[in-house]
Amino acid sequence: MVTAVTSAQYPGEPTEGTALIRRMAGGDREAFAAFYDRYSSLAFSLIRRILPHPAEAEEVLQEVFWQAWTDADRYDRRRGSPEAWLLMRSRSRAIDRLRSIRRRGETFVTPVEEETLSQTADRKTPSPSALAEDRKLLSSALAGLPDPQRRVIELAFFEGLTQAEIAERLKEPLGTVKTRTRAGLEKLRGHFTALESATT
């Protein structure tokens, strides 16, 4: 059963990204394929910064896009651009996987079986040129933040630390860390919203 999507979730002029998500919410598989082509390299760039092993990162990428497909009807543009929406899911999935690896007492993923390698080789993964471009885009977005905000965002996104752990690591008050995180995320959201509007 396809869930109805209200126009209130897509205020303002639609961008290509929001239009694709809206079509995905209606069950349009072609829109999903286009959404994957448009954003997979950006998501994979973030996931690879968190997970060192390519096979693990590719598996998480598939999970992220499956979640985007199933949750498309819940997307609300008022809460962030398609890039921000997808990156938050990418970060959450990658951190979950990283914590699972750490619970197994491993710093890096153990070597995978040949069968697993062959399965991941069959998956559609972003091209090296696209990955390089989107790593540059992600790095540029982070570089635009003031150093204190960038540091807390990087510790949260790429090392999976909680705000309390970040405060302890940086020897800063928890309230300060929360304020910097909130401000940094707002600036990143604005960056990606402006980028999405400029490319449509």
Q: What is the Cα–Cα distance from 153 to 139, expressed in whole angstroms?
A: 12
Please, which pLDDT band fits residue 196 given cuts at 50, 70 and 90? low
Q: What is the Cα–Cα distance from 75 to 162, expressed in whole angstroms?
A: 25
Q: What percent of the chain has pLDDT over 70?
A: 70
Q: What is the DSSP string of 14-58?
A: PPHHHHHHHHHHTT-HHHHHHHHHHHHHHHHHHHHHH---HHHHH
pLDDT tens-digit readout, 101-115: 766 554 333 333 333
N-to-C CA span, the chain: 31
Q: Where are the domains of the chain?
A: 11-198
DSSP alpha helix (H) spans, 51-171: 54-70, 82-103, 114-122, 128-143, 147-159, 163-170
pTM of the model: 0.55
pLDDT of amino acid 34: 93
Q: Name the CATH architecture for the domain at 11-198.
A: Orthogonal Bundle (1.10)
Please, which pLDDT band fits residue 200 given cuts at 50, 70 and 90? low
Overall average pLDDT of the 62-72 stretch: 92
pLDDT tens-digit readout, 78-98: 878 888 899 889 988 888 888
Cβ neighbours for 54, distance < 8 A, ≥ 6 positions apart: 48, 120
